[in-house]
């Protein structure tokens, strides 16, 4: 099959935009070429180019404009008529045009006119390629692109498809590396394009460039007995910054190794895109790795020296902020928080600090902390936001909490510096699904207080997430609360005590737990069933109950018991609608079959409350499973809707008692399957 190839060559494209732009380019190309049935699509992206290639079905490439037209309803016709026309032709409304202001017209390319397809469709789809930021340049026109567009290569089976996009007309000429391979050259296919770019010192394939960088850093670091600190995000970004990667290693002056490693490494990453290295013990090494975009004649010595000078200046600034911040004790910064508004409806950061401190103490006490730990939790909660007004956090907002931890350790004013510092350092955790949760009663109390205060206050003022909108990251805060509790196996913490003042908050947290279970492939429906009969704010206890019920439902007894419950519930629903509800204790004197008597006898022993009260969920589930054989026998031998009214009524009451016994554990109607 013929190959379609497209390259859009421009000035430097920001690394963060390349991947999304290439994916969108592929989507638009596939849509524009849909009548040519493209297959085997692939994309390329890098600092100065994005590209697309695919195999297409194109029998005729003579460039004929061969169109097939279908005339539809008159302009202004009812939507039903237009929709019928679209259904008939398998078309979308966006494909319709209005011919001479009278009739809707669907114009499609004949399958044999490949170049006509491209010329007619592609410029329209590419012209509106979205960029987070774009620009105009040159002498005129409304065409915008992320950076000035310089060349377009568009080939169909090696022949140029000369469409025009903005100021550029497509051809078969591109360029290589600015330094190592300057000047234009011709290409005739995607394979030739990749080969010639490599000759001109450009690795077109982003995956190959990424692997070359990762392997190069590991190899160069290993020569010094070092390893690289993993950072996939930085690796992706650097891959988008270079076309011909050359890995180099620089040194860090010993005086800067006294800075907190987070400060040093964040400055290297954010400002210079350097990779941090580790020694054999896993500790920060006085070296850094970086990637140049050219191979220098002196093996990179001048480039290394220049980057070391730049880093020295960056770290000197960081050391200045560090020394300046250490002059002021952390608690002395609290008055400055009064000038920072957290939210117009909620108040200042100082008011928030007071709430977090009080809540952290309350939570610590609920977790069983002694008086000393409760006091440290209160102090850490109060000081958790104080580093927001430090110079270092002003320069590097990503270090919130981390710097507060360091400053707390160095400014002990009647508190346990290391304990308070650790709690402050980790109180934002977990920040994402791969982030660890805080451990230890003080750190856990402060992290929970921070997140629960956010949730409680925003719910109180009516700022709740709606649909996909969550501007205050309340879903993330709720998930953080869940992970902290469950991963620490906290058995004595009741969210209901903390959340009762905010309407709907406990249900919101439980909903996040259900979403978490669903994303992990677990039985979220069982959680909904358990929560329906026991609105328990103790998540650990709730999950123990869920796990026990899930284990039972995984057995044959459990599956059959669930089926029997649903059958009984359906019968009761129908019969209650006629003359119900059928409540009250069944009368033993009315039983006429042994299966009725056996079921009633087992139900008399089915009070699970004592077992549930002591959290012996496994025993409760085992006791419930005993009902399975007698309910099976009942349904097999007993006619519930007997002709005799007293028999029917008594048997319906027996079924109601059965569903009630099962419902002590969960609302089985919410369980799927």
Query: pLDDT tens-digit profile of 187-203?
Result: 999 999 999 999 999 99
Which ranges of 417-440 would DSSP assign to H, the alpha helix? Answer: 417-425
| 40 Cβ contact partners less than 8 Å away, ≥ 6 residues apart | 54, 55
Q: In the structure, how many helices (H) and strands (E) does the chain have?
A: 25, 18
pLDDT at 444: 97
For residue 86, being part of any structural domain is answered with: no
Query: pLDDT tens-digit profile of 150-186?
Result: 999 999 888 888 888 888 999 999 999 999 999 999 9
For residue 89, being part of any structural domain is answered with: no
Q: Which residue has the tokens 């279970």?
A: 517
Residue 635 pLDDT > 70: yes
Mean of the pLDDT values across residues 544-564? 90
Residue 65 pLDDT > 70: no
141 and 280: one domain? no
Listed range (138-152, 254-268, 543-557, 562-576) with the worst mean pLDDT: 138-152
For residue 407, being part of any structural domain is answered with: yes
266 and 318: one domain? yes
458 and 334: one domain? yes
Percentage of the chain exceeding pLDDT 90: 66
Identify which of 500, 485, 498, 385 has the alpha carbon closest to the alpha carbon of residue 441.
485
pLDDT at 95: 67
Query: pLDDT tens-digit profile of 448-494?
Result: 999 999 999 999 999 999 887 899 999 999 999 999 999 999 988 99
Enclosing H/E stretch for 8: strand 3-10
Q: What are phi and psi for residue 464, nearest 5 degrees?
A: -100, 155
Number of domains in the chain: 4
319 and 436: one domain? no
Residue 67 pLDDT > 60: no
pLDDT at 117: 64
Highest mean pLDDT out of 21-35, 380-394, 497-511, 581-595? 380-394
The residue from 176, 199, 222 where one domain ends is 199
pLDDT at 61: 41
Contact of 472 with 454, CB cutoff 8 Å: yes
503 and 378: one domain? yes
Residue 34 pLDDT > 80: yes
Highest mean pLDDT out of 36-40, 120-124, 329-333? 329-333
The pLDDT confidence band at residue 498, using thresholds 50, 70 and 90, is confident
337 and 482: one domain? yes
For residue 535, being part of any structural domain is answered with: no
The residue from 324, 357, 385 where one domain ends is 324
This prediction has a pTM of 0.78
Secondary structure (DSSP) of 500-533: TTSTTHHHHHHHHHHHHHHHTT--HHHHHHHHHH
Query: pLDDT tens-digit profile of 269-304?
Result: 998 999 999 999 999 999 999 999 999 999 999 999
Q: Which residue has the tokens 């419902």?
A: 663
The residue from 522, 540, 567 where one domain ends is 522
For residue 96, being part of any structural domain is answered with: no
Mean of the pLDDT values across residues 15-39? 91
| 129 Cβ contact partners less than 8 Å away, ≥ 6 residues apart | 21, 24, 25, 28, 145
pLDDT at 112: 44
171 and 25: one domain? yes
- Distance, in Å, from the CA atom of 429 to the CA atom of 436, rounded to the nearest integer, reads 7
Facing residues of 98 across strands?
Answer: 104
Residue 387 pLDDT > 60: yes
The pLDDT confidence band at residue 35, using thresholds 50, 70 and 90, is confident
Question: Domain range holding 49?
Answer: 3-66+110-199
579 and 649: one domain? yes
For residue 590, being part of any structural domain is answered with: yes
DSSP state of 469: B
396 and 506: one domain? yes
Q: What is the CATH number of the domain that holds 576?
A: 1.10.730
For residue 382, being part of any structural domain is answered with: yes
Enclosing H/E stretch for 394: helix 391-395
Q: Which residue has the tokens 């005086």?
A: 255
439 and 512: one domain? yes
For residue 84, being part of any structural domain is answered with: no
481 and 582: one domain? no
134 and 171: one domain? yes
Identify which of 573, 553, 572 has the alpha carbon closest to the alpha carbon of residue 563.
553
| 336 Cβ contact partners less than 8 Å away, ≥ 6 residues apart | 389
Residue-averaged pLDDT of the chain = 90
Mean of the pLDDT values across residues 550-573? 91
pLDDT at 114: 63
Secondary structure (DSSP) of 213-267: HHHHHHHHHHHTT-EEPP-HHHHHHHHTT-SS-EEEEEE--GGGGGS-HHHHHHH
């Amino acid at each position: 099959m013929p190959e379609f190839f497209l390259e859009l060559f421009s000035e430097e494209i920001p690394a963060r935009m390349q991947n999304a732009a290439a994916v969108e380019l592929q989507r638009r190309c596939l849509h524009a070429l849909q009548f040519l049935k493209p297959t085997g699509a692939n994309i390329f992206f890098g600092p100065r180019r994005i590209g697309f290639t695919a195999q297409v079905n194109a029998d005729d490439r003579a460039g004929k404009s061969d169109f097939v037209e279908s005339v539809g309803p008159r302009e202004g016709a009812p939507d039903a008529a237009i929709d019928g026309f679209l259904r008939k032709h398998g078309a979308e409304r966006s494909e319709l045009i209005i011919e001479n202001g009278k009739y809707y017209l669907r114009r499609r390319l004949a399958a044999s006119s490949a170049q006509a397809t491209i010329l007619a469709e592609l410029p329209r789809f590419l012209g509106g390629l979205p960029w987070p930021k774009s620009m105009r340049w040159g002498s005129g026109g409304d065409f915008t692109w992320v950076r000035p567009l310089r060349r377009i290569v568009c080939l169909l089976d090696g022949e140029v498809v000369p469409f025009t996009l903005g100021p550029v007309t497509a051809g078969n000429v591109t360029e290589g590396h600015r330094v190592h391979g300057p000047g234009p050259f011709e290409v005739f296919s995607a394979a030739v394009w990749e080969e010639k770019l490599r000759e001109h010192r450009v690795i077109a394939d982003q995956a190959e460039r990424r692997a070359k960088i990762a392997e190069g850093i590991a190899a160069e670091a290993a020569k010094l007995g070092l390893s690289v600190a993993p950072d996939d995000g930085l690796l992706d970004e650097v891959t988008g910054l270079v076309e011909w990667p050359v890995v180099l290693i620089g040194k860090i002056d010993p005086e800067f190794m006294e800075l907190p490693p987070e400060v040093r490494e964040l400055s290297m990453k954010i400002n210079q895109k350097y990779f941090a290295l580790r020694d054999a013990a896993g500790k920060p090494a006085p070296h850094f790795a970086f990637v140049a975009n050219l191979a220098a004649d002196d093996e990179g010595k001048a480039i290394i020296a220049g980057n070391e000078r730049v880093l020295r200046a960056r770290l000197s600034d960081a050391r200045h902020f560090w020394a300046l911040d250490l002059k002021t004790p952390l608690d002395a910064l609290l008055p400055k928080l009064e000038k920072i508004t957290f939210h117009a409806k909620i108040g200042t950061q100082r008011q928030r600090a007071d709430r977090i401190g009080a809540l952290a103490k309350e939570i610590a006490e609920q977790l069983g902390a002694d008086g000393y730990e409760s006091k440290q939790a209160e102090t850490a909660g109060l000081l958790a936001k104080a580093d927001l007004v430090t110079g270092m956090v002003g320069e590097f907002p990503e270090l919130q909490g981390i710097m507060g931890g360091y400053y707390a350790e160095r400014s002990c004013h009647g508190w346990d510096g290391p304990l308070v510092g650790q709690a402050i350092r980790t109180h934002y955790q977990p920040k994402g699904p791969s982030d660890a949760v805080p451990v230890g009663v003080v750190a856990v109390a402060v992290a929970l207080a921070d997140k629960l205060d956010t949730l409680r206050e925003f719910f109180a003022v009516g700022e709740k997430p709606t649909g996909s909108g969550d501007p205050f990251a309340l879903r993330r805060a709720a998930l953080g609360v869940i992970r902290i509790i469950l991963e620490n196996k906290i058995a004595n913490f009741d969210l209901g005590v903390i959340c009762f003042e905010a309407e709907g908050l406990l249900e919101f947290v439980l909903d996040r737990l259900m979403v978490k279970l669903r994303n992990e492939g677990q039985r979220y429906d069982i959680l909904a069933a358990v929560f329906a009969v026991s609105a328990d704010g103790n998540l650990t206890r709730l999950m123990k109950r869920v796990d026990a019920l899930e284990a039972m439902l995984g057995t044959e007894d459990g599956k059959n018991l669930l089926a029997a419950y649903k059958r009984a519930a359906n019968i009761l629903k129908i019969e209650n609608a006629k003359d119900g509800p059928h409540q009250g204790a069944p009368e033993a004197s009315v039983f006429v079959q042994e299966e009725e008597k056996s079921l009633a006898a087992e139900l008399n022993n089915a009070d699970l409350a004592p077992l549930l009260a002591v959290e012996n969920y496994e025993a409760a589930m085992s006791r419930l499973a005993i009902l399975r054989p007698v309910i099976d026998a009942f349904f097999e031998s007993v006619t519930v809707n007997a002709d005799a009214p007293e028999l029917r009524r008594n048997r319906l009451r027996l079924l109601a008692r059965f569903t009630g016994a099962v419902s002590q554990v969960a609302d089985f109607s919410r369980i799927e399957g």
